[in-house]
């Protein structure tokens, strides 16, 4: 039996984000884990009469990511009280070498100014993530 792989999304609760804003920030975090690993390659297309720049991308995934993509895409959403706790979780994930991403909102809609809003940890084997996420409460 394969080990369990999950992605954890951690959201700040002190910002008072609406449900829609929270969902958007969680989605950004989930996707950014993969976008950060992409290598973008310019395409040379001699048939492109409009001379628009086209890009291809290359993404290499590891075993944990493959299991997650081929499986249930399990995500667990947890919360922290403030920015300090969010950044601490992110730094701990980086120190352990886990897949992780940090989202900073631009402040263009409901939040005033730039704010760190969410972190994604994983997809990784659950036992690797537990030291960081086990003490966090579910959202």
What domains are defined for the chain?
5-138 (3.40.1490.10)
Using 50, 70 and 90 to split pLDDT, how confident is the model at 84?
A: very high
Q: Could you give the CA distance from residue 94 to residue 119 in angstroms, rounded to a whole number? A: 11
Q: Could you give the CA distance from residue 106 to residue 109 in angstroms, rounded to a whole number? A: 8
Residue 38 CA: distances (Å) to CA of 26, 31, 41, 59, 100: 20, 11, 10, 5, 14
What is the arithmetic mean of pLDDT over 87-92? 98
Using 50, 70 and 90 to split pLDDT, how confident is the model at 52?
A: low
pTM (2 d.p.) = 0.90
| DSSP one-letter string for 45-101 | -TT-TT---EEEEE----HHHHHHHHTT--EEEEEESSHHHHHHHHHHHHHTT--EE
């Amino acid at each position: 039996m394969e080990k369990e792989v999950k992605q954890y999304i951690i959201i700040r609760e002190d910002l008072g984000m609406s449900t829609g804003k929270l969902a958007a920030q969680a989605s950004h975090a989930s996707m950014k884990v993969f976008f950060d690993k992409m290598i973008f390659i310019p395409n040379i297309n001699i048939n492109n009469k409009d001379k628009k720049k086209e890009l291809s991308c290359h993404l290499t995934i590891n075993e944990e990511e493959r299991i997650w993509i081929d499986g249930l895409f399990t995500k667990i959403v947890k919360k922290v009280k403030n920015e300090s706790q969010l950044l601490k979780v992110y730094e701990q994930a980086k120190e352990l070498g886990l897949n992780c991403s940090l989202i900073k909102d631009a402040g263009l809609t409901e939040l005033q100014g730039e704010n760190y809003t969410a972190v994604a940890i994983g997809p990784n084997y659950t036992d690797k993530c537990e030291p960081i996420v086990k003490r966090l409460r579910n959202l």
